[in-house]
Amino acid sequence: MQFYKTRGTQNITTQTLYYVTCVHIQVISSLVYKHAMTEHSESKVQAKLHSSSSLITVLRKSTSESMGAMKLRWGICTAGMIANDFLVGLSTLPREEHIVQAIAEARAVQQAKDLAKTHGIAVVYERFEDLAMDPDVDIVYIAAVNQMHLPLCKLFLNHGKHILCEKPLALNENECRQIVDMAKEKGVFFMEGWWSRFFPAAAKLRELITERAIGEVRFMQCAMGFLTDFKDRLKKKEFGGGILLDNGIYPLSLALMVFGQRPVSCSGSGFLADSGVDETCMISMLFPNKAAASLSLSMVVALPNEVNIQGTRGHIKIPTPFWVPTKLEVTTQSDVESPFKVKEKTETLEFPLPVSDLPQNYPHAVGMSYEAEAVRQCITRGDKECSLVRHEDSLYMAALLEKLRHDLGYVLEGDAI
């Protein structure tokens, strides 16, 4: 079986096995990637890749058997746009492995009832406490506004629920550490929803970088911007608004994944809205191996929403929308006669999404199924965190976003000043 497609389609039966298998391989490739990037010898890198090949082969053959025993019973916290899209993703997964038991919404109750009707959810709670006390719920997906993540995480952790919480996990590092420490104390699975990392295209990107398909990666460019005048929550400090907290995780987490290490410096500059939140931000990152990333974010202009990764022997383009990738354009270079005479070969790799006829609010949102299945596999194994989004990754990201906000003069209550 191929683990990516080059120009083609895929039926839903094959597709289900495809994306479940990809989650297995993403976990393995992530572990190989983290170890390989710390080695300085290319031969050692290749040896690590070779040593993993037999395990990946086994996973290809045993996907339908190894993780099929446990049914994960979901509770959904709030009924907004992203909650609908997460439910669409869940609907593409086998019901014997994922089932939605209940949804809770304290304000937009009718919206929750409508969502429950659309997705066949039997129980609608008007208090979050009732969802927390439901014995038939194993895990809660928190899709609330940013400033509610801390109290809701504490509520569900206190009742022993596993948690998948939308990004950003918290408004600052202090809040994030409270949540992570409590999750460890309660001994439950906890993960921040960096869903981009679970797409098959992201797994393939990690593989290409580890294999040095474009040589040594030296530079990454990203421009992410939208017109967001319809979103009040993005303009208000009391809601934890601003472009960094809302979308900064996407380019920042991608840069950390691409370079495989933390930067030696990261600085931000830009402009604040009249309300005091950041509306435009330019980020410069420098890495130990003489590599750099240039990231642009805006909520006042539309930007290309694509990524370009440059290596010493080629480059990779992730077309829009880069944060939910279904395509990679890989260009390799050879026979460099001069800066203006380079022989290039480009291959386009495509990764079909699961199929759903249900309406979605955000691009490629059905791909949230990859994240949900990875969570189920972690809980089935007894893991308390996922190797692709570790607790320490969330803590570092919270500190990084807080630092960048301060660079722009955007300070929230509870920040470390």
Which residues have C-beta within 8 Å of that of residue 173, sequence separation ≥ 6?
Answer: 395, 398, 399, 402, 416
- Residue 218: name the closest of 284, 331, 305, 315 by CA: 315
Q: Which residue has the higher pLDDT, 403 or 340?
A: 403
CA distance 237 to 383: 35
Instruction: Look at residue 58 in the predicted model and tell me its pLDDT.
Output: 33
Contact between 131 and 145 (Cβ < 8 Å): no
Task: Assess whether pLDDT exceeds 60 at residue 164.
Answer: yes
Per-residue pLDDT of 2-45, as tens digits, reads 333 333 333 333 343 434 444 444 544 444 444 444 443 333 33
Start-to-end CA distance of the chain, whole Å, equals 53
Cis-peptide, bond into residue 168, ω within 30° of zero? yes
Per-residue pLDDT of 273-286, as tens digits, reads 999 999 999 999 99
- Residue 161: name the closest of 188, 121, 131, 127 by CA: 188
Instruction: Look at residue 320 in the predicted model and tell me its pLDDT.
Output: 99
Is the CA virtual torsion 302, 304, 306, 307 positive or negative? negative
Instruction: Look at residue 16 in the predicted model and tell me its pLDDT.
Output: 39
Model pTM?
A: 0.85
Question: Distance between alpha carbon 300 and the CA centroid of its chain, in Å?
Answer: 24
H-only helix segments in 159-284: 173-186, 200-210, 232-235, 243-247, 249-259
Q: For residues 307-326, b (16+ Cβ closer than 10 Å) or e, as one string? A: bbbbbeebbbbbebbbbbbb
Q: Which CATH superfamily is domain 72-195 in?
A: NAD(P)-binding Rossmann-like Domain (3.40.50.720)
Q: Percent of the chain beyond pLDDT 70?
A: 83
CA distance 264 to 169: 24
